[in-house]
Chains A and B, each alone.
Chain A
C-alpha cells in the first residue's frame, strides 16, 4: 500500500521525502530497526526519483489565447526575431 502511494508521488515530493529521510538517518538517535527501515524507504525513494528523472519527457500543451480567436491580425504583425 505504502509503496503504491509513494510511486505516485510527484518528483518534488519524492525528492523532498528522500532528503528528509537522509536527514533523519544522519541525525541519528534511532533504533537499529528504525534506521534500517529508513534506509529501505530512502533507497526506494532514490530509485523512484532516478527513474522519474531518467524517463521524463517534456510535455507541451498549447492554450488558446482568448484574444487570438480573431486570427488574421496576428501573422502579419508577428515578425519577432
Chain B
C-alpha cells in the first residue's frame, strides 16, 4: 500500500470535490452559528442542523450577506470546496436567503444580483418616454384581458397612436423564448417609439419567464424604451428592473406612455385663448402707440394758424406802409402839380401874353428869324387860339411905321389844355 503525503491526499480530495456535480452547485438550509466578519467584509460561519454542521465562507460580494446572523435560519446557495491549508471542507456561499425561500426565488436572487452587477438596472441607462408616441408595440398574450385593457386605455386617452401587437405566450416553457423572439421581431421595426411588455398577475412560478436572464437581456437590448407591466404591483420581476419604466399594471402602462386627449384638447383650447388675448393685447398696444404718435405729430406739426396770423399782420403792416408811401407821393405829386401850375403858360397867357407857333411845324416862335412874311402862325391866348399870317419882317428900329407892325389874324383852335394832356390825375391807381 503506497504512502501518500498529506498534500497529496489533500490535493486528491480537492480534485474529487471539485469534480462532483452535486457539490458544484447546491442549496443548503441550516442555522447560522459562529459567525465572524473579517475586516475585508467576508463572512465565516457554520451552518448546522440537529445532527451536523458545515463550515461556510461568504465573500463580501455574496448576495444576501447582510442578513447573516447567529441563530438565523437560512438557505445558502454555493459550491463545496476543500480548503487544503486547514483540511476543511467548506461551502463557498454565493447567495443567502432566509430559510423557506424556494429554489425559484434563489434563482431570481442570483440573476438579479448578476445583472445588477453588470449594470443592467442602472438608472443612468433608463431612457425617457416620448411625450407623444406615434407607434407603440405591445408584447403580451392574445388570451386574457391584458391586450383588451391596453387597447381600451389607448383608445380613450390617445387614439392618435398606432398599436403594434405581438402575441407571445407569457407563461410556460415557451414564454421566455416567445418574448425574446418578439423583441427580436421588434428590433427590425423602425419608427417605433416604445414597447410595453405586459402580463396579468400570477404566482412566482407563472411569472417565471419574466425572471429569466434571456428575457432581461432582450429588454436590455431593445432599441426603444421598454415599459414593463408584469403581474400586480406587488410582484416585481427581473423584467421590471431592466425595463426603462415599470408600470404597476398593464392599464397603468398604457396610461403612462400616452398623454391624455382631454388634457390635450384643453391645452389646445388654452393656447387658442392665449393667442387671441395676446394678439388683442398687441393690437391695443399698437392703438396706444398710434394715439401717442398722432398726438406727438399734432404737437410737432407747424402751427398753421399762427403763421396765418403772422401773415395777416405782415400784410396789414405792408398795406399800411404802402398807403403811407402813396399818400406821401400823392402829396408830392400835388405840390409838383401846383409848381407846374405856376409855370403853366396859360397862367402867363392870362396875364395878356400869347404863345405863337408856326403853323407849318408847330414850333414856338421865339425869334423874328423863326418866321418869314407869309408864314402861317397860331396864336394862343388865355381862352383859346386863332390863326394868323406874318405880314412882314421886323420893323425898322426906333421909329417904325405902324403899318409895318405885324398883323395877325387869329383863328381859334380846338387844342386841349396842357394840363389835360400832360400830367396824370394826382390819385394813383394804388389800392390794396
Contacts and interface: CB of A to CB of B under 8 A. Distances in A.
Interface of A: 10-12, 15, 18-19, 21-22, 25-26, 28, 30, 32, 35-36, 38-39, 42-43, 46, 49-50, 52-54, 56-68, 73-81
B264 A53 contact: yes
B182 A67 contact: yes
A40 B174 CA distance: 57
Given A66-B185, A78-B142, 15 more contacts: A22-B271, A26-B274, A35-B282, A52-B160, A53-B268, A58-B151, A59-B163, A62-B166, A63-B164, A63-B166, A63-B189, A66-B181, A76-B172, A80-B144, A80-B169
Nearest to B186: A63
A56 B264 CA distance: 13
A25 B132 CA distance: 24
- Considering the complex of A and B, which 10 residue pairs feature the smallest CB-CB distances, nearest first? A67-B181, A77-B172, A12-B132, A39-B279, A56-B159, A35-B282, A80-B144, A42-B275, A46-B272, A58-B159
Interface in B251-274: 261, 264-265, 267-269, 271-272, 274
B268 A15 contact: yes
Interface string B162-198: 1111111111111101101110111001000000000
Contact of A65 (B159, B161, B178, B276): B178
24 contacts: A11-B160, A15-B267, A26-B274, A32-B282, A35-B278, A36-B282, A39-B279, A42-B272, A46-B275, A53-B268, A58-B154, A58-B159, A58-B161, A58-B162, A58-B163, A63-B137, A65-B168, A67-B168, A68-B168, A77-B169, A77-B174, A78-B143, A78-B170, A80-B199
A51 to B, nearest CB: 10
Given A36-B279, A78-B142, A80-B171, A15 B202 contact: no
Interface residues of B, number: 61
Contacts of B271: 18-19, 22, 42, 46
A80 B207 CA distance: 10
Contact of A58 (B155, B185, B269): B155
A56 B261 CA distance: 10
B268 A11 contact: no
B248 interface: no
Interface in B108-143: 131-132, 134, 137, 140-143
Contacts of A57: 155, 159
B159 A35 contact: no
Contacts of B189: 63
Given A78-B172, A80-B200, A39 B141 contact: no
